[in-house]
Structure 1
Amino acid sequence: MIETRGDELLVADGTLITSKTDLHGNIIYCNEDFLAYSGYSEEELFMRPHNIIRHPDMPRAAFKLLWDTIQQGKEFFAFVKNLTRDKKFYWVFTNVTPSYDAKREIISYYSVRRKPARSAINTIVPLYQAMLEAEKKGGIQAGVETLSETLKKIGKPYNQVIYELQEEIL
């Protein structure tokens, strides 16, 4: 039984929501936790774009950063607000990594999501709101610039900031 708070589903301790996508972001695998939290069946998700669960509160710039990072063969971390089939939502701390073939060519992307630190969500929401506002005025690049300016003020690289926000729960 998934615990809820209003329209929010709370990811339980120890939950690992996993999925794998092809190079175009289409779902080629998802586990039972993914199905339970998203509210979709495996048939509804297979070969569908992963953004089927993208919540409108998420800035597009966050996903640009994700794609830019994983297509370079690097690991990506983020806090993501996902949308369920019945229009509820859940927050996750996500890690996305490329999968390689024997020739070291990227063949897919694997994502593992865990319970996020609540304090991290409280910190990240205003940043995402600022990025969304920037995107309304200047598109994705304006959202990227808002994130870059914030990181410059903090004086730390993106992954370090995200990981430190999650440390409370590790």
Structure 2
Amino acid sequence: METTQRHIIDEEVQWDKTKTIVSKTDVYGTILYANDVFSNTCEYSTIELVGEPHNIIRHPDMPKVAFKVLWDALKKGENFHAIVKNLTRTGRYYWVITDFTIDKDEEGKIVGYTARRKAVPNGVVKKIEPIYKTLLDIEKLKGEKASEMYFDAYLKEEVGKTYNEFVVDLFNEELSKEEAEKIKNETNPLKKGLNWFFFGETNPT
């Protein structure tokens, strides 16, 4: 599909944040399936999305190192979570947390990936956005390798966690704050966590 350079608009697209965006790709990141929530949110039709590289929705505010960490984990067959700012067809944005699962054939070979995306609490965006901006600034000035080295050092020295652990803990912390506000009058609040967030209450946490 031919695409033109999109004019970036600093405006969040309106979408149903109670819904889950779902897509499937092959091992190269080519979109094989997109649900209606995905299509409606990114403002492309499903027909337009299928067969395209997933980076069709990559926002220029996202540092490349974030995707490198993601792909390095997926290629190893590791489940992964990422917080991503995506770009719509009209140049707007939406923030999501993505839960990746590995799709394998009968012989255990990785054949693709399934991603489920949900809206993130504003508190998550406020904490992750400055980190991404720093990484992007380093990337533009010093190159991708310098950005990668800084990110690795940042996670070790200031966070003490892997990126995946950092994302999960940050998300759960902010989600817990929102849940606490909603259920602060209850005597026995249920801590639901990420698994419930993506798959529903019937799944174990």
Q: TM-score, normalised on structure 2?
A: 0.77
Cα distance, 1:138 vs. partner? Answer: 2.8
Other-structure match for 2:181: none
Per the TM alignment, residue 10 of structure 1 is displaced from its structure 2 partner at its CA by 5.3
Say if 2:68 is the partner of 1:64: yes
> Which of these residues, 115, 121, 134, is aligned with residue 117 of structure 1?
121
The number of aligned residues is: 165
1:157 maps to which residue?
162
Find the partner of 2:36 among 20, 32, 44: 32
Identical columns (%):
40
Higher strand share: 1
Q: Which residue of 2 aligns with 1:84?
A: 88
Amino acid at match of 2:140: K
Separation of aligned partners in 2, 1:63 and 1:161 = 15
> Aligned residue for 1:3?
none
Distance 2:121 2:169 in 1: 10
Once the two structures are superposed, what CA deviation does each residue of 1:29-80 show, in whole Å capped at 9, x if it has no partner?
A: 0101000100001121111000000000000111111111100000111110
Maintained 8 Å contact 2:14/2:41: no
Q: Tell me, yes or no, if structure 1 residue 104 matches structure 2 residue 91.
A: no
5+ long unaligned stretches in structure 2: 1-9, 176-192, 194-205
Q: 1:51 aligns with which of 46, 55, 61?
A: 55
**Which consecutive unaligned segments of at least 5 residues does structure 1 have?**
1-5
Alignment deviations for residues 126-151 of structure 1 (CA, whole Å, 9 cap, x no partner): 10011101111232222211211211
User: Higher relative CO (CA 8 A, sep ≥ 6), structure 1 or 2?
Assistant: 1
Distance 1:13 1:38 in 2: 13
Q: Secondary structure of 2:29's partner?
A: coil
Extract structure 1 runs of 4+ deviating beyond 4 A. Answer: none
TM-score, normalising length: structure 1: 0.92
